Amino acid sequence: MSNICDINSDPRFLAAMDSSRLPFTLESVWAQRSSGLLAAAEHEIRLAERLQRQQQQEQACATMAPSHHGNEWRLSKHDTSHAGCWMRYTSFVLGVAAVASSTLFTAPVVFMARINSCHHGCLSLEHDLKASLNHNIHPCDDFYSHVCSGLDSKQGHPSLNKYSIAFSRSVLKTMLLGKIPTLSKNVRAKAARFMLRCLSKEKTSPIPSQVQYRGILSLKAFLQELGLPWPHQSPATRPQLLDVIVRASLHFGIPLFWAFYIGRHPLRPLQNTIYMTLDPNFMEWARVVRALVARGRESEYLRRGAEIIGGEGQSYSFMIQHFYNLTDSDLRRALNGYLPDDSQFWPEDEIVNLQPDFFLNLDSTYLSLSSNQESFKLFLGAYAVWLLSPIASGYLRSSLLADLGQENDEASYHSVKCFDTLEAIMPLVRFHLHLEANENVERMRLVAQLSVDAFGTCLGSYGKSLRNHAYAVLAQLALNAFNMTTTWRQLNRVYAYLPSDRNVSSFFELYRRAALATASFFALSLRRPNHSIFHVPGISQVLQYRLLVSRELSIQYFLTVAPLYGTWEPTTVIAALFGTLVSVQLASYMRFVILYNHRFQMAACNVGLTSCATLPEGVQMPSWTSSCQELHVA
């Protein structure tokens, strides 16, 4: 089996954790609007009554229309209902105005209220840099800790997360305030309607609304089709557990815990293969669990989810507190069960395992150990509910944030989850939307080139041959190559396989259908790809895949816009923020080039453990690699 060793790159914790608050809500806006309309109506009525008293004469509200016989009729002159007519007329006008305003303006108000949740001054790089200084550590003793310890993630998410969220909100605002055709097959319109459905405000009361109830029913049906009767216990075997996690990825397109992705083969770019790795969302799950345990709310959260999914009085538990080549017939049968006939795997075939050590521990501890199989099956059910409930139930989403003490961040959290689902279905669309919002792409190329030069100079300290070899290899890397060169017309063809979003009862059902269509489309192209898509949904989120298969440095566009990238910022600040992320990918790529063979296997080390036998000619082992064990865990 071809193994690509696990590299602990920064996990994507996309649950927004900033302390921003909504400046106003839809309810407050509608209350203000309604109070203004009622005040205007009362003012008109008072004017009418005053006019009636001053004139002291009877005025009839008459309307004239031809009768069936061609005659005209009028209200009686003795009709003194002037004020009443004004009341009815005003109510009619205001009713029409209310309907029109709610139809034409409610969507922008809703989304602006739920997107613009960053208070004034919350995005200040200068403030964050000053706050990151640790004056308890002298810069001469530990410069990094002195400057950056305040930016180190203490809450389990990247320190630049709020800047990324703010940039995505601005992109989302631009997309939703534009014209959104209802029946267009244009991929941009599809994405806008997709986000519109996801961000629609739901009731978060304990009594689910009709739309929310349909989302919960869809979630329950999804668990049943997966073979997960959570929160009920049920027996499990190794083949059954493998079938569940494979079915979730390759059939439904919604990976659970251990993900299987279809992507380009690392050695044969004209073919696809299967990658398996830990679901990137698991790191967020671990952070949420730790936070719930710290607040003593884990039992309450699980009880609530179990009762909504399974009914009153259900049992619940995390079940798991710690996680310690296709000759595997159980895994091979599970994979082949969800692949077409011309894409079947045989014992001599290979798939790419991005985290081999983790999978071996998972297999030996939970998949193969009969005493833990039932617990692992229950864990998969709880994980599925946690993963999907934010987009299936507004009540479960708001309740989770309340348990975490982050109820003020619901708008931010919701928008991030919606963007996650969009990227899971149409990753190139999100990239393209972010590219359009980029002020200057040349900044990215400039910083990337400076990072390559600096990295080559650093490697030159280990010998001229290593430096020259690094320059030759790094010259092959492109910068966001595939998502910067596609056009909207090309994307229309790329995502033509997505189903229509009409007549769908809930957003979760819409997401489920789109994920199912995506998984089916790429499963058919496993042996003979009938497309040129490198950013396959799912695997495109793994930076190592894009680096090793697409030969692509992945740069997030929010790093090249204000306030992180400004002409007024010192060069050292830009290098620290932008250049560091580029250099990490360069070092990762060179690690594979130097220490691994063409099959992505660790090069054999000699007895002295100071050098490897398969290094390029003239290249010496750097002094910072003292043993193969250290290389493996680096």
Q: Are 330 and 238 in contact (CB under 8 A)?
A: yes
Residue type, 8: N
Tokens matching residue 12: 């994507």
Is the pLDDT at 106 greater than 50? The verdict is no
Position with higher pLDDT, 438 vs 78: 438
**CA nearest to 159, candidates 584, 577, 582, 585:** 577
**Pairwise CA distance, residues 514 & 518, whole Å:** 6
The more confident residue out of 36 and 295 is 295
C-alpha span between 331 and 242 (Å, rounded): 6
As separate numbers, helices (DSSP H) first and strands (DSSP E) second, the chain gives 25, 6
Rg (CA), the chain: 30
pLDDT score recorded for residue 248: 92
The pLDDT score that the predictor gives to residue 1 is 40
C-alpha span between 267 and 404 (Å, rounded): 45
Predicted confidence (pLDDT) at residue 61 exceeds the cutoff of 80: no
The pLDDT value given to residue 29? 31
- Per-residue model confidence as pLDDT tens digits over 350-378: 788 888 888 888 888 888 888 888 888 88
| Mean pLDDT on 564-579 | 72
pLDDT at position 304 over 50: yes
User: What is the C-alpha separation between 499 and 487, in angstroms, rounded?
Assistant: 21
pLDDT for res 26: 30
What pLDDT was estimated at residue 600? 63
Across the range 556-578, mean pLDDT stands at 74
CA distances from 540 to 331, 378, 425, 480, 588 (A): 23, 29, 11, 12, 17
- Please, what is the average pLDDT of the chain? 70
Its pTM stands at: 0.69
Q: What is the pLDDT of residue 247?
A: 92
> In a 3-state reduction of DSSP, which class is residue 258?
strand
Query: What single letter denotes the amino acid at residue 376?
Result: F
C-alpha to C-alpha distance for 80 and 58, rounded to whole angstroms: 6
Among 28-32, 84-88, 190-194, 512-516, which stretch is predicted with the lowest mean pLDDT? 28-32
Using alpha carbons, select from 501, 414, 514 the residue that is nearest to residue 198.
414
Give the number of residues written for the chain.
634
* Per-residue pLDDT at 509 exceeds 70: yes
- What percent of the chain shows pLDDT beyond 70? 64
CA–CA dist 370, 180 (Å, integer): 53
pLDDT band at 176 (very low <50, low <70, confident <90, very high): confident
Among 24-38, 136-150, 185-199, 402-416, name the one with the lowest average pLDDT: 24-38
* pLDDT tens readout for residues 580-633: 888 888 888 888 777 776 666 666 443 333 444 444 454 444 443 333 333 333
Boundaries of every domain in the chain: 26-115
- pLDDT of res. 49: 53
Cα separation, 555 vs 585, in Å, equals: 10
3-state class (DSSP) for residue 353: strand
Strands (E) across 199-333 are located at: 258-264, 272-278
- Which residue, chain included where needed, has tokens 């492109």? 478
- Count of CB atoms within 10 A of residue 141's CB? 8
Cβ within 8 Å of residue 364, ≥6 positions away: none
Rounded-to-integer distance, Cα 374 and Cα 378, Å: 6
Report whether pLDDT(110) > 60: no
Instruction: Please state the rounded mean pLDDT for residues 41-60.
Output: 51
Residue 295 tokens read as 């607040």
**pLDDT reading at 78 higher than 50:** no
Task: Rounding to the nearest 10 degrees, give the CA dihedral for residues 543, 564, 427, 580.
Answer: -10
pLDDT band for position 313 (cuts 50, 70, 90) = very low
From start to end of 232-279, where are the E strands?
258-264, 272-278
By 3-state DSSP, what share of the chain in percent is helix, strand and coil, each rounded to 5?
55, 5, 40
Residue owning tokens 């109070």: 35
Give the closest residue to 391 by CA, choosing from 2, 10, 9, 14.
14
Predicted local distance difference test score (pLDDT) of residue 302: 79
Tokens 């620290």 label which residue? 576
CA distance 413 to 168: 12
- CA 465 – CA 619 distance, rounded (Å): 6
| Chain segment 1-40, per-residue pLDDT in tens | 444 333 333 333 223 223 333 233 333 333 333 344 344 4
Amino acid, res. 317: S
Q: What is the pLDDT of residue 212?
A: 59
- Is residue 317 pLDDT above 60, yes or no? no
**What is the CB-side half-sphere exposure of residue 633 using CA atoms within 13 A?**
4
pLDDT for residue 493 is more than 80: yes
Residue 520 pLDDT level (bands cut at 50, 70, 90): confident
Considering 437-446, 448-457, 538-547, the range whose residues carry the highest mean pLDDT is: 448-457
Residue 179, amino acid: K
